[in-house]
């Protein structure tokens, strides 16, 4: 790639994707989103866990508003084929439909789209000195995907706090609200994330893929415990069949 806006490392059974635009707080430009999409797709069928982190003091400050505003100045429609839609596709289509488990390693400030990424990842670890915020209410708008994903990931009052106050909150609050799984000292964040990725990636890829599907599907489509248990039994049968076929083929 001509410009490494996304750094990429591969290990035995997991990969690490690192945002490399620290001078812009890792705000997501079009070339950056395209590189991210490419790297994620390269992991399909090769890695069962993917860590997403960043260089610098910020994890991700959201969509590159300077780029978007420049497009608008030149007459482009905000809701046309732009970085916001490409970023939406990455998070809501590629990541959620990808068979790998995604782990956010939140090294610093996460705002707007950066918070969405944390919400969309399956697991998340945060540096003890990092902060998170959904500032769109300050601009008089609803945080389209950051707010919606926060409402699904958190209980009502915690989601409302993010959407209605616009205030930043720290690592301890992020853990309490269920935005992340746990917090660690900054100098151990990447090691902890890699260790978690290696642990998760040791399991059967088919099992991880279908467990991820079940985690998404059951809360949104299954309305009672009996139906949930039936769905779970069906998922278990699918996993057993796929694992047996993979082992016999190998």
**16-57: per-residue pLDDT in tens?**
999 999 999 999 988 898 899 999 999 999 999 999 999 999
**Token pair listed for 148:** 């919606």
pLDDT over threshold 70, residue 73: no
**Looking at residue 28, what DSSP letter applies?**
B
Phi, psi of 23 (to 5 degrees): -65, -20
- The residue among 3 and 83 whose pLDDT is bigger is 3
- The residue among 3 and 117 whose pLDDT is bigger is 117
pLDDT over threshold 90, residue 90: no
Contacts of 249 (CB under 8 A, 6+ apart): none
For residues 202-221, one letter each, b for 16 or more C-beta atoms within 10 angstroms of the residue's C-beta and e for the rest, the string is: eebbbbbbbbbebeeebeee
**Rounded CA separation 240/234 (Å):** 10
Of 28-42, 140-154, 187-201, give the range with the top mean pLDDT: 187-201
Q: How confident is the model at residue 218 (pLDDT cuts 50, 70, 90)?
A: confident
Q: What percent of the chain has pLDDT over 90?
A: 54
**Token pair listed for 154:** 């958190």
Q: pTM of the prediction?
A: 0.88
Mean pLDDT of 140-157: 78
- The residue among 132 and 141 whose pLDDT is bigger is 132
Q: How confident is the model at residue 227 (pLDDT cuts 50, 70, 90)?
A: confident
**Token pair listed for 95:** 């990541």
**Rounded CA separation 48/203 (Å):** 8
- The residue among 90 and 34 whose pLDDT is bigger is 34
**Averaged confidence pLDDT in the chain:** 87
Q: How confident is the model at residue 83 (pLDDT cuts 50, 70, 90)?
A: low
**Rounded CA separation 110/133 (Å):** 6
Q: How confident is the model at residue 2 (pLDDT cuts 50, 70, 90)?
A: very low
Mean pLDDT of 2-23: 93
Lowest-pLDDT range, 11-20, 134-143, 201-210? 134-143
- The residue among 118 and 140 whose pLDDT is bigger is 118
pLDDT value of residue 21: 96
């Amino acid at each position: 790639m001509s410009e490494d806006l996304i750094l990429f490392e591969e290990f035995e059974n997991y990969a690490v994707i690192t945002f490399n635009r620290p001078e812009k707080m890792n705000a997501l430009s079009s070339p950056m989103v395209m590189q991210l999409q490419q790297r994620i797709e390269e992991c399909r069928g090769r890695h069962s866990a993917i860590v997403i982190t960043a260089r610098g003091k910020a994890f991700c400050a959201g969509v590159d508003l300077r780029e978007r505003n420049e497009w608008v100045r030149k007459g482009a429609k905000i809701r046309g084929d732009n970085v916001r839609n490409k970023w939406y596709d990455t998070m809501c289509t590629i990541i959620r439909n990808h068979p790998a488990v995604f782990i956010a390693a939140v090294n610093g400030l996460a705002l707007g789209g950066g918070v969405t990424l944390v919400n969309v990842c399956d697991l998340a670890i945060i540096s003890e000195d990092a902060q998170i915020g959904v500032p769109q209410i300050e601009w008089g708008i609803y945080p389209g995907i950051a707010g919606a994903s926060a409402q699904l990931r958190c209980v009502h009052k915690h989601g409302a706090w993010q959407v209605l106050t616009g205030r930043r909150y720290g690592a301890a609050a992020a853990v309490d609200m269920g935005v992340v799984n746990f917090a660690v000292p900054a100098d151990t964040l990447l090691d902890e994330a890699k260790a978690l990725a290696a642990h998760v990636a040791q399991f059967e890829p088919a099992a991880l893929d279908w467990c991820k599907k079940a985690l998404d599907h059951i809360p949104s489509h299954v309305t009672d415990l009996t139906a949930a248990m039936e769905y779970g039994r069906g998922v278990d049968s699918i996993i057993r069949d796929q694992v047996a076929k993979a082992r016999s083929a190998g």
